[in-house]
A = this chain, B = another copy of it.
Amino acid sequence: MTAPEFEKAPNDKKALEDGTAFTPRFDANGLVTAVVTDAGDGILLMVAHMNAQALALTIETGIAHYWSRSRNALWKKGETSGNFQHVVEMRTDCDQDAVWLRVNVLGHDATCHTGRRSCFYRKVERRDGIVTLTGDGSAPLFDAKKTYLDAT
């Protein structure tokens, strides 16, 4: 199978919003935003970015690939930890600059590099005028430090 290629996004807003052509609008850095939720209970797991190659590989293989902005490299999520994301459904938004992946997480069912299930483990709350973060009580599901250290 050849990896899918993407047509240039049309200038015509109606075609972009109502059409059946998938023409992702990559930003100045060549990226679209990817929102990842659990296909089971819908919990938000992470937000990441994809370039055209990562997006094509995700569609082709059914396993989520991203572009790591910190490492400046293609990133097959789970390659070190085993926590691959199997894509159950992909959607795009009205102006096609974001995708939504509904996934089943393999391995430890953990998505965050801290070992937690979700990257969004802290609530932002304002108390007495001060904005602070409060943990939601979620604990690491695997020893992330050891896993990533062993892999280096």
Contacts and interface: CB of A to CB of B under 8 A. Distances in A.
Interface of A: 1-2, 4, 6, 17, 19-22, 33, 35, 37, 41-44, 46-47, 59-60, 89-95, 98-100, 112-114, 119-126, 129, 131-134, 136
**Nearest 4 pairs of A and B residues by beta carbon:** A42-B42, A93-B119, A90-B124, A91-B120
Nearest to A124: B90
A120 B34 CA distance: 12
A119 to B, nearest CB: 4
Given A4-B131, A21-B132, A122 B47 contact: no
Given A22-B131, A42-B42, A90-B125, 15 more contacts: A20-B132, A21-B133, A35-B35, A35-B44, A35-B47, A44-B100, A47-B93, A47-B98, A59-B126, A91-B124, A92-B120, A93-B112, A93-B120, A94-B121, A98-B119
A113 B4 CA distance: 29
A131 B2 CA distance: 12
A22 B93 contact: no
Given A1-B129, A120-B100, A123-B89, A114 B134 contact: no
